[in-house]
């Protein structure tokens, strides 16, 4: 092969390499050049031990307990529902994977994106011993697909493709479920009033052959003596308590509720069921 052909071959090979670099790694570098780094990429959702949501009106602190339940701090025994916490973690996961876009560096526009002090949420995630990940949370975009965010004490405003505002914006975080009972498992109900008390029990239902219709449950009074009861009224009570939710969570005190007088007490027991309901 002549020197000329070798030279031309070398030039051709060089052009191929240059074209590959220009359209491959260099192109990717050129496209990424100047793009802001997604600061959420530093976060690992599984490391989160505590969440603090600080709005201009109140501060809510939620801490993970050993049983994977999230307890609201400074309450006796109130938790956040699993569905709400799943939305929080899913939205944070989306933010971690999202491309982050610089929207503005003008501090005068913070109010427009609800990143200003009067409208933003400061989210503080505890991810280790004395280690925290913090960010300012603004409003959702008009299509509700993106959320505007910022680093603490930084004028730059970014958007991420994650429903963070929806996940963190709640009037309250309380799980308002009082009871979630399998009513078929309730075998006995005790009714206690100031001047009387009685107990009703469900009759045992004999096993039926496959394909046969299971008869309706029959209830009878057993204490202080045997007496007949209205099965439909019992069914109404069981329907009510099997999925009982609070309309709101008031101050946790008996004062003014009548509960301290023990006016009405209902005790439900059965297969895996043993709960007491006090009515003021």
Q: How far apart are CA 280 and CA 273, in angstroms?
A: 22
Residues 192-233: pLDDT tens digits?
Answer: 998 899 998 998 776 656 666 666 778 999 999 999 999 999
Q: Apex CA 99: angle with CA 93 and CA 105, to 5°?
A: 115
Q: What pLDDT does residue 230 have? A: 92
Per-residue model confidence as pLDDT tens digits over 127-157: 988 899 999 999 999 888 899 999 998 999 9
Structure confidence at residue 14 (pLDDT): 53
pLDDT score of 52: 96
39-168 classified as CATH 2.60.40: yes
3-class DSSP assignment, residue 96: helix
pLDDT (0 to 100) of residue 59: 92
- Catalogue the long-range contacts made by 191-195 (C-beta closer than 8 Å, 24 or more residues apart): 191/264, 191/265, 191/266, 192/262, 192/264, 192/265, 192/266, 192/267, 193/263, 193/264, 194/261, 194/262, 194/263
Question: Would you state the structure tokens that stand for residue 57, as one six-digit string?
Answer: 């009106």
Question: Computed from CA positions of residues 240, 243, 244, 248, in that sequence, does the dihedral angle turn out positive or negative?
Answer: negative
More confident residue, 49 or 253: 49
Scan for tokens 């479920």, then name that residue.
Answer: 177
Work out the average pLDDT over 83-101: 94
pLDDT (tens digit per residue) in 244-280: 777 666 666 667 666 676 788 889 998 888 888 888 7
277 φ/ψ angles, rounded to the nearest 5 degrees: -115, 120
pLDDT for 23 = 54
Domain chopping of the chain, boundaries: 39-168, 177-279
Judged against a pLDDT cut of 90, whether residue 189 lies above it is answered with: yes
pTM for the full model?
0.67
As a whole-number percent, the residues of the chain with pLDDT over 90 amount to 44
User: What is each CA distance from 95 to 54, 74, 104, 166, 181, in whole angstroms?
Assistant: 19, 29, 18, 13, 37
């Amino acid at each position: 092969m002549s020197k000329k052909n070798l030279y031309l071959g070398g030039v051709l090979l060089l052009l191929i390499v240059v074209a590959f670099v220009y359209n491959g790694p260099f192109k990717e570098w050129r496209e990424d050049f100047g793009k802001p780094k997604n600061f959420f990429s530093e976060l690992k959702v599984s490391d989160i031990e505590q969440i603090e949501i600080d709005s201009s009106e109140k501060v809510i602190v939620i801490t993970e307990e050993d049983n994977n339940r999230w307890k609201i701090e400074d309450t006796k025994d109130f938790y956040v529902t699993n569905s709400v916490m799943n939305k929080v973690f899913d939205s944070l996961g989306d933010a971690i994977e999202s491309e982050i876009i610089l929207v503005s560096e003008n501090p005068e526009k913070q109010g427009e994106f609800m990143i200003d002090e009067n409208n933003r949420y400061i989210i503080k995630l505890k991810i280790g011993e004395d280690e925290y990940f913090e960010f300012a949370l603004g409003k959702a975009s008009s299509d509700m697909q993106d959320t505007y965010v910022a680093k603490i004490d930084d004028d730059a405003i970014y958007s991420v493709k994650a429903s963070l505002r929806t996940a963190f914006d709640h009037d309250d975080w309380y799980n308002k479920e009082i009871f979630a009972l399998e009513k078929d498992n309730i075998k006995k109900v005790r009714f206690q009033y100031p001047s009387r008390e009685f107990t009703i029990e469900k009759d045992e239902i004999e096993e039926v052959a496959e394909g046969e219709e299971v008869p309706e449950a029959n209830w009878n009074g057993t204490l202080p003596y045997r007496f007949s009861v209205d099965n439909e009224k019992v069914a109404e009570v069981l329907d009510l308590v099997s999925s009982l939710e609070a309309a709101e969570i008031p101050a946790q005190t008996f004062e003014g509720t009548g509960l301290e007088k023990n006016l009405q007490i209902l005790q439900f027991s059965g297969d895996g069921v043993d709960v007491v309901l006090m009515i003021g």
